[in-house]
Amino acid sequence: MAKSFAATTLLATRLPDRAIFFGKVTGSLGFGWAITILSTVVALLTVNLSSGRGQFLFYSPVDAFGSLALGLLGAGLAAGLGALFSLRAATVRQVQQNLSLATLVLIFVPVFAFRLLPAALRSAFMQGLHAGVLPVTLAAISLLFLLDLGLLAFGLAAFKRHRIIGP
């Protein structure tokens, strides 16, 4: 497994393994959440410029909180998976391919599978979502939070610099 000079230098420092792992995850997490915040602001500006008609339109508190929280936790999921995949990957390209596959399985397969459900079941599901946005948002936040914690715990246990550097 060929590592870059910068990665080898970082692994040779006295920093604890935990600090290196958390630095790797928080760097990706910050980038992902920044994109979420920027997208939310651009969407807000777009809606106000195209449909505001002189008044300022804003998200409901539940929508704003849900968007930002789910964006942060979704970025955490991607960062955690990326950090785990990078422990076994020889190249950045391999990590990107694994993340693309994980995205396909975690997001796109359920979305397309939903379209295969009978119309009555899809309709009942959607009505349930609209009836209680806050409970659904909190459930999604809780699920992603637990997944993120699990990935962090697993990543911390798996990250051992002596395995990465080699003998």
Mean pLDDT of 70-96: 89
Instruction: Say how far apart CA 87 and CA 8 lie, in whole Å.
Output: 13
pTM of the complete model: 0.78
Count of the separate structural domains present in the chain = 1
Burial class (CB in 10 A: 0-12, 13-18, 19+), 55: exposed
pLDDT band at 95 (very low <50, low <70, confident <90, very high): confident
Instruction: Say how far apart CA 153 and CA 25 lie, in whole Å.
Output: 12
Mean pLDDT of 97-104: 89
pLDDT tops 50 at residue 2: no
pLDDT digits (tens, 9 = 90+) for 18-73: 888 888 899 999 999 999 999 999 999 999 999 878 888 888 888 899 999 999 99
Q: Which domain holds residue 17?
A: 5-165
> Please, are residues 85 and 99 in contact by the beta-carbon 8 Å criterion?
yes
Between 98 and 8, name the one with better pLDDT. Answer: 98
Q: What is the pLDDT of residue 118?
A: 92
pLDDT digits (tens, 9 = 90+) for 123-161: 888 887 777 778 888 999 999 999 999 999 999 998 876
Of residues 165, 166, 167, the one with CA closest to residue 13: 165
Counting residues of the chain whose pLDDT is more than 70, the rounded percentage is 89
